[in-house]
Amino acid sequence: MTKRIYLDWNAGAPLRASVAARLAESFGRVGNASSVHDEGRRARAAIEAARRSIAALVGASPRCVTFTSGGTEGAATVLAPRWTFNGKPLDFDRLLVSAVEHPCVARGGRFAADQVETVPVDRDGVVDLSALDARLAALAAEGQRAFVSIMLANNETGVIQPVAEAARLAHAHGGLIHTDAVQAAGRIPVDMAALGADVLTLSAHKIGGPQGVGAIIRASEFLAFPPLLTGGGQEAYARAGTENAWGIEGFGVASEEAAHDLRHAPAIAARRDRIAAAIRRVSPEAVVFSEAAERIANTLSVAVPGLQAETALIAFDLAGVALSSGSACSSGKVSASTVLLAMGVPADLARSALRISIGPSTTDDEVARFEEVFTRVHADLTKRKGSRAA
């Protein structure tokens, strides 16, 4: 049986061998990290070691890392209309999000629906900084403060957003900025100070860690969000509930390795571009989205006009290739991508979009096999389409 080809790294990267090995060791460990006995202290030590590794991945202080169940919980927690700075309330009247955010941000977290506004993007999916500046200025003139949320790298197109510039604008108008760095970590340098981000969120399974664990990272320990989960004093009272010690330990191991993944970026980009070229050879009318924008190396969003993504995904899966049509969090609802629609892509073309995302362990042989499969699938689906039209 031919081995399957996994080209859906943005949905979830394969578990790293080093993480699997560490998890195999830690599964046999007993002890609650909040307990004072030796077993509890060992669990606590493992969590704190991971906290240091994750903080180092983004250039932050370990004291500013709060563990969560993933990126969605992180966004739901930090997108709140009241924070505190040095113990004093810091209130926000509006949440401004880019038009291409992941659903966990686009839905506004704890802001009321009428407090959430969308900032447009250009045809390549890059946020319109002029529009952001104008809206921030208008709100400031009305005596209102805005919280801004702009992702660092888009999960569908791979576009890298100008977060540092957006942060300068937000701060100039008295606001704060959150960035969803889930797809960026391990793929581009992530440094909180350079970005100017006040808070960012991460998810372990995007960098080869276990599913079900993530982190909120603040730029300053004096800046605090209201807990989403209250109860016990875990995570310095920022997130109640017994910590997922096993998952956190695996997250730490993945973070240590992800810090070294940047060296693979040129080879990954070359394979991505090879895939795009192969698709265009077979289908010259294929459209590669955001090709003119700066993108993370591993992500390709492409559409062949007239071939519906839903049908194509099934055909690829049956042929042994795993890929997606957009955000994995929208799977089962194959429709026009809201990201592409925000970029001005016609709905019919957006419904044909496929997302191909690869990683450091993707091989040249897998790329060659994908080229062969794409050729067969394209021929088959084009033939079927022609038969239906006859």
| Catalytic sites, residue numbers | 329
Sign of CA dihedral 310, 312, 318, 324: negative
Burial-class residue 37 by CB neighbours within 10 Å (0-12, 13-18, 19+). exposed
Question: Which pair of tokens denotes residue 209?
Answer: 């860690």
User: Who's near 63: CB < 8 A, 6+ residues apart?
Assistant: 221
Phi/psi of residue 95, each to 5°? -115, 120
Burial-class residue 70 by CB neighbours within 10 Å (0-12, 13-18, 19+). buried
List 324's β-bridge partners, or say none.
355
* Cα–Cα dist 129/300, whole Å: 24
* Secondary structure element (H or E) that encloses residue 66, with its range: strand 65-68
Contact 40, 32 (CB under 8 A): yes
* Cα–Cα dist 119/148, whole Å: 10
* Cα–Cα dist 86/222, whole Å: 5
